[in-house]
Amino acid sequence: MAKWLKYGVAALVLALALIVYWAWTPDIPHEVLAEKYATGASDFLELPSGARAHIRTRGNFEGKTLILLHGSNASLHTWEPWVDALDADYFIVTVDLPGHGLTGATPSEDYTYNGMVAFVDELVETLNLENFVLGGNSMGGGVTLAYALQHPGKPDGLILVDAVGIPVPENTRVETSRPLAFDLAGHWYSDWILENITPRSIVEEGLKKCFFDNSNVTEAKITLYWELARHPGNRGATGKRFAWYRDGRSSLDITPIKLPTLILWGEEDSLIPVETGTQMHQMIEGSELITYPEVGHLPMEEIPAISANAVRTFLNQFTAPAPVEPDNSAELEAEVSN
C-alpha cells in the first residue's frame, strides 16, 4: 500500500510539474516589447524619481492640452482612437502608468493613488504642461479624481470615462462581473502563480468583459494586452495594486471637486455599472453626464468617433474664441461714395 501511495504522490508531482512547464509564461524583455510597441510618437522620459515613463505626445501644439490616463492592466494604446480623432485640434499626451505598459515597475513601488498621482505630477512638471484637461478611464479615472483633489489648481477640467473612485451603488441594472484576473490578483496564494503563469485565455476573458460588442476583441488586441502584461515588473505591480484595492482605500470623497467635468459611460458596463457614473454626476457640482446604450467599459475604443465628438464639444469651452474683426463696410462705402 505504501509503495502505491509513493508512486501516486510521485505521479501527482510529475503531473503538476508538467502543467507548470506547459503553462509557464515568463517576462518578455523590455527591449523586445519596446521594439514592437514603442512606435510612432512614442518616447521614454526619465522622471526625477528615477521612473522611466513611456509617453506619446501628438497633435496641435497650439491647441488645448489633454492628458489621458488608461485603466487597469491597459496601456496608452487604449487612447489611440481618440488621438486619431482629435489630434488635428488639440495637443494630446498619453502615458503608461506605473506598473503598466512599457513604463513597467517604478522605483517607489507605490501603485496606490498617491503613487500614481506623484508620477503624473512629475510628468506634468517635467514636460512643463499648463492649462491642461486631465482625463482617465477606469483606474485612470480614479487617478484623475485623486489628482484633482491633491492639485486642484492645476487641471482646467476633467474627463471621466467609466471611472473608479467611489463605491459602486447596490442593485445596479447590469450585474457587476469582474474578470477572473481581478479576483485572483492581490492574494498571497495566487500572486506567485499570476506572476509566472498568465494564460492568454485569461487576458481574452478579461477583454470580453470590457466590451458589449465582442468583435472588438481581436487577436491583435489580445496579444497586445497579453504581452505588455509580461513586461518586467508589471505582474508584480498588479498584485501590490490589487492588495491595496482590497484594503478598501480606493474610495474618494469627490464632493470638493469644482472643476468642469465631463462624465462618459457605457450603459452595458459590467465592471463599473453606469449607476456609478450617475452618482459621480450628482457628487461633482456642474458636471455633465453622457451615457451610451449598447456600449461597455471602453467607449473610447468601442465608439471612438461618437465619444471623441463629446470630448471635442467639452474641450471647445476652454478655447478662447478668435477675435472678431470690426465690420467697417459701412464706413468704406461712405468713403467710396464721397
Predicted local confidence at residue 319, as pLDDT = 72
Tens of pLDDT, residues 152-205:
999 999 999 999 999 999 999 998 887 665 666 555 556 666 667 789 999 999
The pLDDT of residue 332 is 40
User: What is the share, in percent, of the chain residues with pLDDT greater than 90?
Assistant: 75
Of the two residues 240 and 66, the one the predictor is more confident about is 66
Domain ranges of the chain: 22-318
Q: Tell me, what's the pLDDT at 12?
A: 39
For the sheet containing 91-95, what is the strand order?
42-46, 52-59, 91-95, 65-69, 132-137, 155-161, 261-266, 288-292
* CATH code of the domain made up of 22-318: 3.40.50.1820
What's the confidence (pLDDT) of residue 230?
A: 97
Average pLDDT over residues 109-119: 96
> Which stretches of the chain are assigned E, i.e. beta strand?
42-46, 52-59, 65-69, 91-95, 132-137, 155-161, 261-266, 288-292
Q: What is the mean pLDDT of residues 243-255?
A: 81
- Predicted local confidence at residue 3, as pLDDT: 52
Mean pLDDT computed over every residue of the chain: 87
Question: Given this model, what pLDDT does residue 27 score?
Answer: 96
* C-alpha–C-alpha distance, residues 105 and 84, integer Å: 28
**90-111, pLDDT tens digit by residue?**
999 999 999 999 999 999 999 9
CA angle 265, 54, 155 (to 5 degrees): 50
Residue 2, pLDDT score: 57
pLDDT per position as a tens digit, 272-315? 999 999 999 999 999 999 999 999 999 999 999 999 999 999 99
pLDDT of residue 189: 59
Query: Residue range 72-83: average pLDDT?
Result: 97
Quick one: pLDDT at residue 280?
98
pTM listed for this prediction: 0.87
pLDDT (0 to 100) of residue 323: 44
Is the per-residue pLDDT at 20 higher than 50? no
Q: What separation in angstroms does the CA of 248 have from each of 112, 170, 241, 244?
A: 11, 16, 12, 7
pLDDT of residue 328: 52
Cell matching residue 290: 453622457
